[in-house]
């Protein structure tokens, strides 16, 4: 099953251009420092042991799940993105990549406790829309995970998260409607696309801000990570069935394990992402520069607002998705050749040194 351009479920606030619609845009900004080396025990040792599969009453289930998740606020510079994270190991939070993508800084909070901490990006897998954060001082994980659960259509579930970015947790009950889904998410900021596979579809009304939160079974065991949905659109359509999607927890935990082990793969990136220092939007003639970070790599070689990027290390660029794909294979400190058309229509080219972002 293929669903085109469904919305991701983080919520952005700030500029009219980024609020209140759902967002997973590219905003390249430099970071102040490189990431600290992870100092975690293997993630399997830190997770609570599985509990017996005993159904919980709705109020007890919501309270149980809320004890093991956090609110995430990502500063994009001109706006903020709100989402949810799951505590998966000591000082370690799992969330969606689109929740923290483009962040100048990431703040994690535990509602009602007064606990607020700065988070650091340990690694991510954009192809799975997953990111792993280091958050010093978090309480130990309390949730149990069910990577081997028999998730089939009809399975009762509940999605819990920071709905609408309100800073409090809300539960959305429902059932699994299908498994093994493939969808395409579209960034509302630059139009870039991301293809996600093997997702769980549910009829729970997952809302903006729920991104990165847990999908749990009737016993409160985590079976997935909420990532995309159209409940916000369906509220405007009478009797429309909500459709939301979650990443199976087995896939998510595999990404956590790879990141904590420092095991980089074709899709798993260790450390903060590289930044070119531009914000892009697709126009008919290609990825056009909408904003330039002062003193960033692009600014230093003379790229300005309105310029169109045409090549990345000799490879042609047709869209912002192409730029993101190349950046996903790069690292801070890499030297790359960028070619662009300036406002006068002249072709220019120069070498930039990518910087890091979002330690």
Number of domains in the chain: 2
Cα atoms found within 13 Å of the Cα of residue 331, Cβ hemisphere only: 11
- Quick one: 212 and 326 in the same domain? no
pLDDT at 108 over 60: yes
- The more confidently predicted of residues 144 and 25 is 144
Other CB atoms closer than 10 Å to residue 347's CB: what's the count? 10
- Quick one: 196 and 319 in the same domain? no
- Quick one: 281 and 234 in the same domain? no
Given this model, what pLDDT does residue 199 score?
98
- Quick one: 257 and 122 in the same domain? yes
Alpha-carbon span 168 to 180, nearest angstrom? 31
Q: Name every residue whose Cβ is closer than 8 Å to that of residue 305 and which is 6 or more positions away in sequence.
A: 289, 290, 291, 292
Residues 253-311: pLDDT tens digits? 999 999 999 999 999 999 988 999 998 888 888 999 998 989 999 999 999 999 999 99
- The more confidently predicted of residues 34 and 243 is 243
pLDDT band of 160, cuts 50, 70, 90:
very high
In this prediction, residues 172-194 reach a mean pLDDT of 83
pLDDT at 130 over 90: yes
In this prediction, residues 171-186 reach a mean pLDDT of 94
Of 96, 33, 38, whose CA–CA distance to 262 is shortest?
Answer: 38
Domain span at 223: 2-268
CATH number at residue 166: 2.40.10.120
pLDDT at 34 over 80: no
End of a domain among 268, 300, 333?
Answer: 268
Q: Which long-range contacts (CB under 8 A, 24 or more apart) does 289-295 make?
A: 289/340, 290/190, 291/78, 293/28, 293/29, 293/30, 295/30
The model's pTM is: 0.79
Could you tell me where the beta strands, DSSP code E, fall in 230-324? 244-248, 268-270, 274-275, 278-283, 286-292, 308-312, 315-316
* CA 112 to chain centroid: 24
pLDDT band of 223, cuts 50, 70, 90:
very high
- Quick one: 42 and 119 in the same domain? yes
- Quick one: 131 and 226 in the same domain? yes
Given this model, what pLDDT does residue 307 score?
96
Alpha-carbon span 349 to 192, nearest angstrom? 23
- Quick one: 156 and 295 in the same domain? no
In this prediction, residues 209-231 reach a mean pLDDT of 93
CB 234 within 8 A of CB 197: no
pLDDT band of 44, cuts 50, 70, 90:
very low
pLDDT band of 193, cuts 50, 70, 90:
confident
Q: Which residues partner with 193 through β-bridges?
A: 186
125: left (phi over 0), alpha (psi -120 to 50) or beta: beta
- Quick one: 264 and 277 in the same domain? no
In this prediction, residues 203-212 reach a mean pLDDT of 93
Given this model, what pLDDT does residue 9 score?
60
- Quick one: 212 and 106 in the same domain? yes
- Quick one: 172 and 100 in the same domain? yes
Given this model, what pLDDT does residue 242 score?
87
- Quick one: 148 and 291 in the same domain? no
pLDDT at 358 over 90: no
- The more confidently predicted of residues 21 and 170 is 170
> Picking from 51-65, 69-83, 128-142, 298-312, which range would have the lowest pLDDT averaged per residue?
51-65
> Picking from 34-43, 86-95, 128-137, 252-261, which range would have the lowest pLDDT averaged per residue?
34-43
């Amino acid at each position: 099953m293929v669903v085109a351009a469904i919305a991701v479920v983080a919520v952005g606030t700030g500029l009219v251009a980024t609020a209140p619609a759902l967002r997973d845009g590219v905003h390249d900004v430099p970071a102040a420092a490189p990431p600290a080396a992870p100092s975690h025990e293997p993630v399997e040792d830190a997770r609570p042991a599985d509990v017996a599969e005993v159904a919980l009453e709705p109020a007890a289930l919501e309270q149980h799940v809320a004890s093991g998740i956090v609110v995430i606020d990502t500063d994009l510079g001109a706006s903020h993105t709100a989402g949810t994270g799951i505590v998966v190991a000591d000082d370690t939070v799992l969330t969606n990549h689109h929740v923290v993508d483009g962040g100048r800084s990431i703040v994690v909070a535990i509602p009602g406790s007064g606990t607020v901490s700065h988070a650091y990006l340990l690694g991510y897998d954009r192809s799975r829309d997953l990111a792993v954060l280091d958050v010093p001082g978090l309480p130990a994980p309390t949730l149990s995970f069910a990577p081997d659960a028999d998730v089939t259509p009809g399975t009762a579930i509940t999605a819990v998260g920071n709905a609408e970015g309100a800073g409090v947790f809300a539960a959305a009950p429902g059932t699994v409607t299908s498994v093994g889904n493939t969808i395409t998410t579209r960034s509302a900021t630059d139009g870039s696309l991301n293809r996600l596979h093997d997702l769980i579809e549910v009829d729970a009304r997952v809302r903006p801000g729920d991104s990165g939160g847990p999908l749990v079974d009737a016993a409160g065991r985590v079976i997935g990570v909420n990532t995309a949905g159209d409940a916000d659109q369906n509220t405007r359509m009478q009797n429309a069935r909500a459709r939301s999607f979650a990443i199976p927890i087995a896939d998510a935990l595999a990404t956590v394990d790879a990141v904590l082990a420092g095991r980089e793969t074709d899709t798993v990136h260790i450390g903060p992402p590289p930044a070119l220092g531009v914000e892009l939007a697709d126009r008919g003639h290609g990825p056009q520069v909408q904003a330039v970070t002062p003193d960033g790599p692009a600014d230093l070689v003379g790229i300005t607002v309105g310029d169109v990027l045409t090549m990345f290390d000799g490879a042609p660029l047709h869209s912002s998705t192409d730029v993101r794909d190349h950046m996903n294979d790069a690292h801070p400190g890499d030297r790359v050749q960028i070619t662009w058309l300036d406002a006068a229509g002249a072709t220019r080219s120069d070498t930039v040194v990518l910087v890091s972002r979002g330690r």
